[in-house]
Amino acid sequence: MEKQPYSLHNNIRLIRRGKADITQEKLADKVGCTRQTIAALEKGVYNPSLVLAMRIAKVLQVEIVDLFKLQKTN
Amino acid sequence: MEKQPYSLHNNIRLIRRGKADITQEKLADKVGCTRQTIAALEKGVYNPSLVLAMRIAKVLQVEIVDLFKLQKTN
DNA sequence: ACATAATGTAAGAAATACATTACATTAACA
DNA sequence: TGTTAATGTAATGTATTTCTTACATTATGT
């Protein structure tokens, strides 16, 4: 995988605080990862594994497509 | 992320050979990864990054949800 | 103002994705 | 049958994800 030409946007925070209304920690628990991982993802620090992304989508009850958007950067 | 309780199934090969009708190498080229990575994914060797999964789905013109399925193993 | 919950963030270790190189096996086809 | 294309697969290295631990900052509520 190339490093540059694709950036990933997500609205985890939006949905977590909106319809889900849970804390980072609670989300992390339900998903089975750490709070720091959730925080980093919300911040867009990295490109999660597919399984992690799917589990987050499931917990938040949204489609993965609605949670993450891929965009070309050039 | 835990190692055990979720396994990932995919039908990359099915779709690649079916409606897409391209080789592993061609798919890899279009996606921007190596042939070995495609081969490993088809074999289910690992859990791809979300971006890689999305790009494969895009090239194969399917929804990511139709390409990969998550299943609990216990 | 104080206590506690929620979040930000960073350093280092551990795990694992992905690339590279290389060679072997199988499929397709002249 | 021989040649090439397609695929299998392994070893090793690099990059990146994720966890762990830890502490700081900000929000919330009394």
* pLDDT computed for residue A16 by the predictor: 98
Residue of B nearest to A9 (CA): B51
Contacts of B56 (CB under 8 A, 6+ apart): B12, B27, B31, B38, B41, B48, B67
Query: Looking at the domain that runs over A6-66, which CATH code has it been given?
Result: 1.10.260.40
In chain B, domain spans: 6-69
Q: What is the pLDDT of residues A18-70, one digit of tens each?
A: 999 999 999 999 999 999 999 999 999 999 999 999 999 999 999 999 999 99
C21 closest protein residue (CA to C1'): B36
| Tokens matching residue A40 | 């980093």
User: Quick check: A66 and A25 in contact, CB under 8 A?
Assistant: no
Task: Give me the residue from B32, B47, B63 closest to A65, CB to CB.
Answer: B63
Contact: B2, A63; criterion CB under 8 Å: no
Q: Would you call A10 exposed, middle or buried from its count of C-beta atoms within 10 A (0-12, 13-18, 19+)?
A: buried
Q: Per CATH, the architecture of B6-69 is what?
A: Orthogonal Bundle (1.10)
Nearest to A58 by CA among B42, B54, B68, B44: B68
Task: Give me the residue from A1, A33, A50 closest to B8, CB to CB.
Answer: A50
Q: What is the pLDDT of residues B34-74, one digit of tens each?
A: 999 999 999 999 999 999 999 999 999 999 999 999 987 65
Pseudo-torsion of CA A40, A72, A53, B43, nearest 10°? -130
Taken in order B30, B36, B37, B38, the sign of the CA dihedral is positive
* pLDDT computed for residue A71 by the predictor: 85
